[in-house]
Amino acid sequence: MVAKKPRIVIIGAGMAGLVAAHKLYKSAGSKDVFELCVVEGGNRIGGRICTSEFGGDQIEMGATWIHGIGGSPIYGIAKEIGALENEKPWERMDGFPEDPLTAAEDGFEVDSSIVDPISNLYKKLMEFSQGKLNEADESNEEFDYFKLAVKALKTCANNGGEKAISIGSFLRKGLEAYWLNGKEGVDVNGHGNWKSKLLEEAVFAMHENTERTYTSAGYLFNLDFTAEREYDPFPDEEITIAKGYSSIIQYIASVLPNGLIQLGKTVTKIEWQCDHSSDMQNCGGETGPVKLHFDDGSTMVADHVLVTVSLGVLKAGIQEETGMFTPPLPHFKTEAISRLGFGVVNKLFLQLGPSHAQENNHEVFPFLQMAFQQSDLRSKHQKIPWWMRRTTSLCPIYNNSTVLLSWFAGEEALELENLKEKEIIDGVSTTISTFLPQNRDNAHTCSNGNMNSVENSQGFNFTKLLKSQWGTNPLFKGSYSYVAVGSSGDDLDSMAKPLPSISKDGVPSLQILFAGEATHRTHYSTTHGAYFSGIREANRLLQHYQCGGLSDLLHN
């Protein structure tokens, strides 16, 4: 009689799940030790990685960037398989322009005398929050940005205590400190001007809104200040992948035999044993400590289940009415899931129709940064829809592409998912008409806040659009995780702990393991964080069965 091999089931065919499957399958001797299966609720592999096509150009609906090529395993794979070069153009192939057009709502270009100091202030404040600056690094200049950051930090701490500090409150205190130290709304002649202050605040908010898309925190006041220093970015430049992010996924999955990945298998319930009173699960004569229930009514038993679903799905899964886990997960796990943040970030692609500029080989559309007025209602254009007011930019996906891109986060991102195509096009068109004058060659520059009205009408028309919808997709329920105020890096560590961690009183260990970007303390919210978590959990199982390693690209 042949002994039954233990079965490992991986839930989710995204980066974490596929990397774990790849390593488990390729490890020396593993195929003789256990049976492996990947179940995926969707009709494709990749999870939050999804390369697509729009307007003849390659685009990314989800993960877009390799965040720092120095030491990144994603970069290593992309380089090895030749995914960094392509004859066809791709999204952000030329990076970002050094001189984007920053415009105010009345169609005025905001002068660099306003944009540059505020941008530098924001950059320094974020570098301080990330632990990249200390007092020895900074000069003793009159408006020393580091000292302003320290002052802002002390103000936040005095008001609410260190545990209450958010990135949002820290940044705003930094801006207030900047103004209080003699830089409040100063015009070109050194005189105070309230309109200049409004422009400075608008430029500052522009950077804050970019930060929201970086972190997925709908409000930066929900983003924990202390945890920012634990995030560990890779050095060197950030790039996109010429042959698409999905080429990385396809490579990782290519070693897996047909049938190992089962698509269209959505898990609705996970039964496991948390104490010795529980019976071994039974399914078709097979037994194991974990039993999976699927939406088609079928079931599957396993000895080990690696859960790689998003934090958004886990948040929904621990609700009493949902009951994804039976019995419920222990308190340390559910508390970590509840405290951590998980936001929504969506991308909107728009196809430009033919224009005079295209016909005459002029710039199709500028890299437009939009400085929306924040405080003064008199300066706001009421026809601009609210869901556009916290976007930062609208720009071609590469130089002179006719495909434009804008990013949305938080409530605006969810609203975008619910809007009809005509509502979106009308809202974007109205917004553009207030920012771009009819003749940019004769456009005024605003450096002192004394703005005169200008007729604004470029006549841009859009033929179609494409939007991501990560928030309402039941397989994701959002985009990526962040450390919210009230949470900490300890919660990310708790996310990674298996259940149970050791065998005790007849209860098998490692029944449920967890991987995914929301389980990595220093690389959360990234594809490489998901990658590392998949390697971590594969190693855990290999060590459990004392299997050997592997000698391909998926290093330890």
Q: How far apart are CA 329 and CA 316, in angstroms?
A: 13
26 within some domain: yes
What are the structure tokens assigned to 352, written together?
């430009």
CB neighbour class for 538 (10 Å; exposed up to 12, middle 13-18, buried from 19): buried
Q: How far apart are CA 39 and CA 475, in angstroms?
A: 13
Q: How many CB atoms lie within 10 A of CB 67?
A: 21
Q: How far apart are CA 541 and CA 10, in angstroms?
A: 12
* Whether residue 261 sits in one domain with residue 225: no
* Whether residue 292 sits in one domain with residue 214: no
CATH of the domain at 272: 3.50.50.60
* Whether residue 128 sits in one domain with residue 20: no
* Whether residue 189 sits in one domain with residue 259: no
471 within some domain: no
Asked if residues 303 and 508 have their Cβ atoms less than 8 Å apart, the reply is yes
* Whether residue 190 sits in one domain with residue 137: yes
* Whether residue 278 sits in one domain with residue 225: no
* Whether residue 308 sits in one domain with residue 202: no
Q: How far apart are CA 200 and CA 142, in angstroms?
A: 19
246 within some domain: no
* Whether residue 260 sits in one domain with residue 226: no
User: What integer pLDDT is reported at residue 504 of this predicted model?
Assistant: 78
Asked if residues 325 and 331 have their Cβ atoms less than 8 Å apart, the reply is no
How is residue 472 annotated by DSSP? T
Q: How far apart are CA 77 and CA 75, in angstroms?
A: 5
User: What integer pLDDT is reported at residue 231 of this predicted model?
Assistant: 93
* Whether residue 223 sits in one domain with residue 114: yes
C-alpha count within 13 angstroms, C-beta hemisphere, residue 505 = 8
Q: How long a stretch of residues is the chain?
A: 556
User: What integer pLDDT is reported at residue 381 of this predicted model?
Assistant: 78
359 within some domain: no
What are the structure tokens assigned to 94, written together?
């030329």
Q: Which residues of the chain, if any, have pLDDT below 70? A: 1-3, 28, 134-164, 182-194, 276-279, 284-285, 355-362, 376-379, 437-459, 548-556
C-alpha count within 13 angstroms, C-beta hemisphere, residue 391 = 26
Q: Give the domain-ending residue among 230, 245, 267.
A: 230
146 within some domain: yes
* Whether residue 185 sits in one domain with residue 275: no
40 within some domain: yes
* Whether residue 264 sits in one domain with residue 212: no
**In what helix (H) or strand (E) does residue 65 lie, and over which residues does it extend?**
strand 65-66
Pairing of strands 267-271, 290-294: antiparallel
39 within some domain: yes
User: What integer pLDDT is reported at residue 147 of this predicted model?
Assistant: 62
353 within some domain: no
- Residues 510-542: pLDDT tens digits? 999 999 999 999 999 999 999 999 999 999 999
- Residues 272-301: pLDDT tens digits? 998 766 667 777 667 789 999 999 999 999
Q: Residue 529's domain spans which residues?
A: 7-47+255-342+485-545
Q: Give the domain-ending residue among 197, 230, 263.
A: 230
Asked if residues 453 and 392 have their Cβ atoms less than 8 Å apart, the reply is no
* Whether residue 225 sits in one domain with residue 133: yes
User: What integer pLDDT is reported at residue 159 of this predicted model?
Assistant: 59
Q: How far apart are CA 82 and CA 528, in angstroms?
A: 18
Number of domains in the chain: 2
Asked if residues 492 and 518 have their Cβ atoms less than 8 Å apart, the reply is yes
